[in-house]
Chain A
């Protein structure tokens, strides 16, 4: 699926699932439901991980759990990723702790409140800042780090919601649309440098973020297993569950004159 890296030999070592070399993984937003489920799979494989999250107590519980499940190294840092001024220092510390980095996994984000954001620009701006601008800052640093080494996978949780704005969640959706577009451009720039940029577009997944939603949700363990496999294969874009590939194809192609009248 992806364009071949300029250094295929290095890439093969990095992503070979049978490789005995423990993966070095940086996880941003490690207490998010999808991130934690993904990390459990990596931990069982003996990965080395550096975890970043905002809440110290939650982060400590996740770190202890991953160590017991088999992670060969777990480093942590408590940080509010909205604080972009601190990104360079944080990321430098993380890759030094890991003594390198094979995979960067960006999983932080907020759903926010659509209704509130419609009335309150501050809230709308907050959603877009956390879901789009803060990742842009992280990605800028991470992309340049990986390009220098001609290696690495940068895997980012975007959302199927970003495919088309709908009245029920267009603020969140636009933050994810921006993120998806940014990743697409970044991939176009650095894939040829041997760096995989992966856009992950989950449908609704059963995590604390969606706990209030009374809809059919995918099992987070299955979603995580799909993500781990896709990262090993260096896939560019992943819809998970896969049924959202055709669903979003249709959603994208409904003519606007009809779409604008739908209650979505």
Chain B
């Protein structure tokens, strides 16, 4: 069971990568990792800790929202027990460290599915609440927090609160989208939705330009899941070309077996030059023309529809050691079209092309979180490889443009917002700060509040 403690070498100072990385692998910060395996572990584990701490899950947020430089990361993935399920209501109660993949393994064979799912199933329930994540069905379903009837929040002073829209409503609102800063979520409820099949009725439609995208969005607004891939690298005739993808859970009863374990993985870092303008343009062209016809209709499994990249574990290693940064905005309808065109132009001009650019309309269902990202309008998300002299000035420009058009950036994807930008995107931040647990902090929060730890 146990091993030679002699094998415990002190961690090598410089060479070793940090024990916990965010998905963008930038920035890289060392931190001590303390597991929370049980609901009763927090705040007991904090005694004797001199640093601030931050609860974290599977590290799928991209920037520093899940990092705390020289602090303590409270790893919640050991708190992964399913506690109760009521098939009559679809309400699952589970510990916060359970992953959405584990929830799917449980739910799908019983004829249920996640009410909202992001582009990866390897996030924890607690992380999904803390970042109030959204999915392809935002117009129909709102964000993740809209489907969480209640959860328990434990603070470092030992106080425990059951939070729901009716009970401790202010703590409920502060914790949804609260970036893990309001306390530790020990368990949460999630209202699952029924399905009769794993299959998705899928359609893919090519478009050229934002006008065509908006027409498609209008025409298919009754369809539950919609998302578009957009080519950010092309200019001229191909500017803002893309594929509008839509899907609905099949209504034809089918097999409800659990998903197999993924087999592919990028085992090591690709060299930094692996993803350059040529390879990315090539990828984008292949993706665009993979669908040879302008309009494709098919039935596919939910895995490739919702989680195309989960099939390759650690795909982020494709960006090499330096990592990647994401940029994701939501601009309200008033300026959504012009803002998106301007920003896409700026990106294409920069030549820092992106592998995956995702374009989507957000709907009108308001998020319940005080600091939630989604708002009605257009959302664009894309990756950039890190080229220090180029990427960060571009991100600064794009952030300022987003602000000009009345939009905001997504904290869970960010590694570059300035304090001024953040405080303009989220003017309610000081109100939120009152709900922060004094012993919890994140590198993101320190960065965008300019030393938030003193608040």
Contacts and interface: CB of A to CB of B under 8 A. Distances in A.
Interface of A: 33-34, 55, 57-58, 61-62, 64-65, 68-69, 109, 111, 114, 157-161, 166-169, 172, 176, 202-205, 208-215, 263-264
Nearest to A60: B83
B7 A215 contact: yes
Contact of B4 (A109, A157, A168, A205): A168
Contacts of A204: 2-3, 7
B366 to A, nearest CB: 32
B315 interface: no
B82 A64 contact: yes
Contacts of B10: 214
A107 B35 CA distance: 21
B104 to A, nearest CB: 14
Given A61-B95, A263-B6, A264-B6, A161 B81 contact: no
A76 B297 CA distance: 52
B12 to A, nearest CB: 10
Nearest to A176: B1
B37 A208 contact: yes
Instruction: Select the residue from A111, A157, A158 with max chain B CB neighbours within 10 A.
Output: A111
A210 B5 CA distance: 10
A68 B81 CA distance: 9
B35 A62 contact: no
A208 B79 CA distance: 11
Contact of A161 (B4, B39, B78): B4
B349 to A, nearest CB: 46
A109 B1 contact: yes
A61 B83 contact: yes
Interface residues of B, number: 25
Interface in B3-52: 3-11, 34-35, 37-40
Contacts of A167: 6
B253 to A, nearest CB: 22
B83 A203 contact: no
B1 A209 contact: yes
A57 B83 contact: no
A65 B82 contact: yes
10 contacts: A33-B37, A61-B39, A111-B2, A114-B5, A161-B4, A166-B4, A202-B1, A204-B3, A213-B8, A263-B6
A157 to B, nearest CB: 6
Interface of B: 1-11, 34-35, 37-40, 78, 81-85, 95, 106
B90 to A, nearest CB: 14
A176 B8 CA distance: 20
Contact of A169 (B5, B35, B81, B84): B5
A166 B6 CA distance: 9
B38 A159 contact: no
Given A57-B39, A61-B38, A61-B95, A161 B83 contact: no
A161 B6 CA distance: 12
Contacts of A34: 1
Nearest to B35: A211
B83 A58 contact: no
Contacts of B83: 61, 64-65, 68
Nearest to A200: B1
A20 to B, nearest CB: 18
Instruction: Report, nearest first, the 10 A-B pairs whose CB atoms are least far apart.
Output: A65-B81, A204-B3, A168-B6, A168-B5, A159-B1, A68-B82, A215-B7, A208-B37, A64-B83, A264-B6
B85 A213 contact: no
B137 to A, nearest CB: 26
Contacts of A157: 1
Contacts of B35: 208, 211
A69 B1 contact: no
Given A57-B39, A69-B106, A215-B8, A209 B82 contact: no
Nearest to A109: B1
B228 to A, nearest CB: 37
Given A61-B81, A65-B82, A68-B85, A210 B6 contact: no
A210 B106 CA distance: 28
Contacts of A211: 34-35
A57 B38 contact: yes
A62 B3 contact: no
Contacts of A69: 82, 106
A213 B3 contact: yes
Contacts of B39: 57, 61
A62 B34 CA distance: 21
B84 A68 contact: yes
Nearest to A61: B81
A128 to B, nearest CB: 14
Given A34-B1, A209-B2, A264-B6, 13 more contacts: A61-B95, A65-B83, A68-B83, A68-B106, A158-B1, A159-B1, A159-B2, A168-B6, A176-B1, A202-B1, A205-B1, A213-B3, A215-B9
B109 to A, nearest CB: 10
Given A57-B39, A57-B40, A62 B81 contact: yes
Contacts of B6: 166-168, 263-264
A215 B3 contact: yes
Contacts of A160: 3
Nearest to B85: A68
A188 to B, nearest CB: 23
A172 B6 CA distance: 14
B8 to A, nearest CB: 5
A206 to B, nearest CB: 10
Contacts of B78: 208
A214 B11 contact: yes
B88 to A, nearest CB: 15
